[in-house]
Amino acid sequence: MISNKFYTLIILFCLLLITGCSGGESNVTTGNRDGILHWGNGTDPQELDPHIVTGVPEHHILTALLEGLVLKDPATLEPAPGVAERWEVSSDGKIYTFHLRHNARWSNGDPVTAHDFAWSWWRALQPALGNQYAYMFFPVKNAEAYLNQEIKDFSQVGVKVLDNYTLRVELSNPTPYFLQLLDHYSMFPVHRPTIEKFGAADERGSLWTRPGNFVGNGPFMLTEWQLFKKVDVAKNPYYWDAATVKLNGIRFHPTENVTTEERMFRSGQLHHTASIPIDKVAVYKKNNPELLHSHPYLGNYFYRINTKSPHLSDKRVRQALAMSINGQQIVEQVTKGGEVPAYTFTPPDTLGYTAKRGFEFNPEKARQLLADAGYPNGEGFPVTELLYNTSEGHRKIAVAIQQMWNQYLGVNITLNNQDWKVYLNSVDNGDYAIARAGWIGDYVDPNTFLDMWITGGGNNRTGWSNARYDELILKLAPTASDRETRYKLMTEAEAILLDEMPVIPIYIYNSKSLVHPSLKGLTPNILDYTVYKNLSLDSSYQGKPFNNKNHSGEAVH
């Protein structure tokens, strides 16, 4: 009745369906065989120029392509030799002399010299480039002035090339955590001839970062970069430590959707994920705990309080708010990701620094404080708005806290959520009463958490100001004679912060990933810092991550 043509079409369609359904080897299987690591990298990288980018996904890729003066030991996070094989620090703590190793090479064979670093740092401070991490250089003498164009001559900035392999850095003030900074990608070297071949040094987004053009001094080289699809890197034969690099290459997969990423992991497409969906944490904990890697992360989830707001300017009110939050309940029942409630602002054990707990969950005391401040049982307390950027996760927490404040203090809180960019604007302009915030440390040192709160600090945004705090953080701690003294001073500063409470810490971040059993060599640490040259793939494992105990080569699912 209907023509044969119609039936042929149907058959063709079914064939398409069926052929489409055949297996094909999973990424993990081929990766293990060829030595290629498949890494779920979160959001697609915006760029690969270390002086322009701002994100964590870019960081993962850049640490494979470039290497700074100093690295970190993955277990202790103490500075370890990178391009610099040794260094000396002057007794006043202001002069660092770095001795570069003679066998460090760029991926085109050129030697890595001190000139490279000096030029790279010059470039990073060119205002036209728009480097949002330019402030990492500010400890260096005159770096900030140079960026502001108060000083036009770069030779006045505290970077000097003594000879091809010796670099001298002079700081304005002793900065005990300076070595930690050097491992940040904004301080990585870039290859001058390559950049100048493709445009001006301060040209933003030229073609020098494309595969085939990119020249780096890290353990890997850029071989392919397809937006939204993948970034491939392959072993760099010129890397000074190439002998210890066991991987042949890494493919960074963009995995924006965390649910899809978990499915990719389950079907054997990834060795390592960037994150894990909340509703899957319990499932993995129960069935496959060996696949779930979880570790405290150098970040703090907290609420900012606008101290300029009349009813929030009394610190007793702020303390009352803090003490009526049941942090334990929040991490157990709301976030459920294995986080730890925060009772300090700096995460505990930040390079050995642990502040004293500043407060506790004590609704009785909270009520008392609120009454002392003039709002017994919350009477007369104006309706206050809690602002957060749109996300179900933040909303969950906000709703829970809203209920807690209502229940324990009798105060009325409304919730308001805004799009990310809009929210940032509002907080920046002080257009909020209480706002959710998060802070991830730029480097492993309590200073990155504490110097936010100096008077007028760019990241302060609460209107809080305390002279003694400023003195401790800006003058006394940097000039402390040793780490112990310094930490004691910072503990004192943090105690002030936690007493005045312009911020309410809620929980310490947690980095969570799913890791395929064939990936070896990962060392968990608070920065989620990975040293790729320590990683290796065991090819006796099969594609799917589950039930992979039999690895004699038999296919197990």
Partner 1 sequence: MFRFIISRVLQAIPVLLVVVTITFFLVRVAPGGPFSAEKAVPPEVIKALEARYHLDEPIWQQYLGYLNDLVHGEFGPSFRYPGRTVNELIAGGLPITAELAFYAMLVAVIIGVCAGVFAALKPNTPQDYIPMSAAMLGICMPSFLMGPLLVLVFGIWFEWVPVSGWGDLPGDKILPAITLGSGYAAFLARLSRGGMLEVMSQDYIRTARAKGLPEWVVVLKHGLRGGLIPVVAFLGPAFAGLLSGSFVVETIFQIPGLGRFYVQAAFNRDYTMILGTTVFFATLIVLFNLLSDIVSVWINPKLRHQLREGK
Partner 2 sequence: MSSSIPAAEILEYAEKGTSLWQDAWIRLRKNTLALFGLGVILTLCLIALMTPFIAPYGYEEQNLLLGAAPPSAEHWLGTDIFGRDMLTRIMYGSRVSLMVGFIATGVALAIGVLWGTIAGYAGGRVDAVMMRIVDILYALPFMIFIVLLMVVFGRNILLLFLAIGAVEWLTMARIVRGQVLSLRRQEFVEAAVSLGLSRWTIIRRHLIPNTLGPVIVYTTLTIPSVMLLEAFLSFLGLGIQPPQSSWGLLISYGVETMEEYPWLLLFPGLTLSITLFALNFLGDGLRDALDPKASRD
Q: Could you say which residues in the range 129-188 bind partner 1, by CB under 8 A?
A: 129-135, 147-149
Q: Is 328 in the site for partner 2 (CB under 8 A)?
A: no
Residue 252: name the closest of 268, 238, 269 by CA. Answer: 269
With H, G, I as helix, E, B as strand and everything else as coil, classify residue 40: strand
Alpha helices in 233-341 (DSSP H): 258-266, 278-287, 315-323, 327-329
Cα 297 to Cα 220: distance, rounded to the nearest angstrom: 26
Q: Is 222 in the site for partner 2 (CB under 8 A)?
A: no
Q: Is 49 in the site for partner 1 (CB under 8 A)?
A: yes
With respect to partner 1, which residue has the nearer C-beta, 405 or 439?
439
Residue 203 vs residues 197, 199, 200, 213: alpha-carbon distances, Å:
12, 6, 5, 16
Question: Binders of partner 2: how many residues, by CB under 8 A?
Answer: 21
Q: Is 293 in the site for partner 2 (CB under 8 A)?
A: no
| Stretch binding partner 1 (CB under 8 A), from 14-22, 290-298, 365-373, 523-531 | 14-22
Contact residue for partner 1 among 263, 356, 483, 488 (CB under 8 A): 263
Cα 175 to Cα 28: distance, rounded to the nearest angstrom: 44
Contact residue for partner 1 among 290, 424, 488, 553 (CB under 8 A): 424
- The binder of 9, among partner 2, partner 1, none, by C-beta within 5 to 8 A per type, is partner 1
> In sequence order, what are the residues at sequence separation of 6 or more whose Cβ sits closer than 8 angstroms to the Cβ of residue 180?
72, 79, 351, 443, 444, 445
Residue listed under structure tokens 């494309």: 210
Cα 511 to Cα 276: distance, rounded to the nearest angstrom: 9
- The binder of 128, among partner 2, partner 1, none, by C-beta within 5 to 8 A per type, is partner 1
- The binder of 76, among partner 1, partner 2, none, by C-beta within 5 to 8 A per type, is none
* Token pair in block for residue 56: 């964590």
| Stretch binding partner 1 (CB under 8 A), from 13-21, 79-87, 350-358, 498-506 | 13-21
Q: Is 458 in the site for partner 1 (CB under 8 A)?
A: yes
Cα 301 to Cα 505: distance, rounded to the nearest angstrom: 6
Q: Is 334 in the site for partner 2 (CB under 8 A)?
A: yes
Q: Is 424 in the site for partner 2 (CB under 8 A)?
A: no
Q: Beta strands 84-89 and 292-305: pairing type?
A: unpaired
Cα 481 to Cα 267: distance, rounded to the nearest angstrom: 54
**Are 447 and 479 a contacting pair, CB within 8 Å?**
no
Which residues are 413's β-sheet partners?
A: 384
Q: Is 29 in the site for partner 1 (CB under 8 A)?
A: no
Q: Is 419 in the site for partner 1 (CB under 8 A)?
A: yes
Straight-line distance from the first to the last Cα atom of the chain, in angstroms, rounded to the nearest whole number: 47
Residue 436 parent element (H or E): strand 434-440
Residue 60 vs residues 54, 259, 427: alpha-carbon distances, Å:
12, 21, 29
Contact residue for partner 1 among 459, 534, 536, 539 (CB under 8 A): 459
User: What's the number of CA atoms in the CB half-sphere (13 Å) around residue 316?
Assistant: 12
**Are 427 and 387 a contacting pair, CB within 8 Å?**
yes
**Are 274 and 528 a contacting pair, CB within 8 Å?**
no
- The binder of 417, among partner 2, partner 1, none, by C-beta within 5 to 8 A per type, is partner 2
Q: Is 400 in the site for partner 2 (CB under 8 A)?
A: yes
- The binder of 455, among partner 2, partner 1, none, by C-beta within 5 to 8 A per type, is none
With respect to partner 1, which residue has the nearer C-beta, 215 or 535?
215
For the CB of residue 48, give the shortest distance to partner 1 in the complex, in Å: 8
User: What is the x/- site pattern for partner 1, positions 427-446, by CB under 8 A?
Assistant: -x--------xxx--x----
> In sequence order, what are the residues at sequence separation of 6 or more whose Cβ sits closer than 8 angstroms to the Cβ of residue 47?
53, 58, 205, 209
Residue listed under structure tokens 């703590």: 93
- The binder of 154, among partner 1, partner 2, none, by C-beta within 5 to 8 A per type, is none
Contact residue for partner 1 among 28, 36, 37, 52 (CB under 8 A): 52
With respect to partner 2, which residue has the nearer C-beta, 134 or 331?
331
- If 0-12 CB within 10 Å is exposed, 13-18 middle and 19+ buried, where does residue 482 land? exposed
Q: Is 273 in the site for partner 2 (CB under 8 A)?
A: no
Contact residue for partner 2 among 95, 373, 415, 440 (CB under 8 A): 415
| Stretch binding partner 1 (CB under 8 A), from 68-76, 152-160, 422-430, 518-526 | 422-430
For the CB of residue 127, give the shortest distance to partner 1 in the complex, in Å: 4
Cα 491 to Cα 499: distance, rounded to the nearest angstrom: 12
| Stretch binding partner 1 (CB under 8 A), from 164-172, 202-210, 313-321, 497-505 | 202-210
| Stretch binding partner 2 (CB under 8 A), from 89-97, 123-131, 418-426, 507-515 | 418-426
- The binder of 75, among partner 1, partner 2, none, by C-beta within 5 to 8 A per type, is none
With respect to partner 1, which residue has the nearer C-beta, 53 or 537?
53
* Token pair in block for residue 213: 């053009």
Residue 121 parent element (H or E): helix 114-124
Q: Is 6 in the site for partner 1 (CB under 8 A)?
A: yes
**Are 413 and 406 a contacting pair, CB within 8 Å?**
yes
For the CB of residue 404, give the shortest distance to partner 2 in the complex, in Å: 11
* Token pair in block for residue 459: 């990241």
396 backbone dihedrals φ, ψ, rounded to 5°: -50, -50
Chain residues in the site for partner 2 (CB under 8 A): 259, 277-280, 283, 329, 333-334, 390, 392, 395-396, 399-400, 403, 415, 417-419, 422
Give the interface with partner 1 as residue ranges (CB under 8 A): 1-3, 6, 9, 13, 16-17, 19-22, 24, 46-49, 52, 54, 127-135, 147-149, 204-207, 209-210, 227-229, 256-257, 260, 263-264, 267, 419-425, 428, 437-439, 442, 457-459
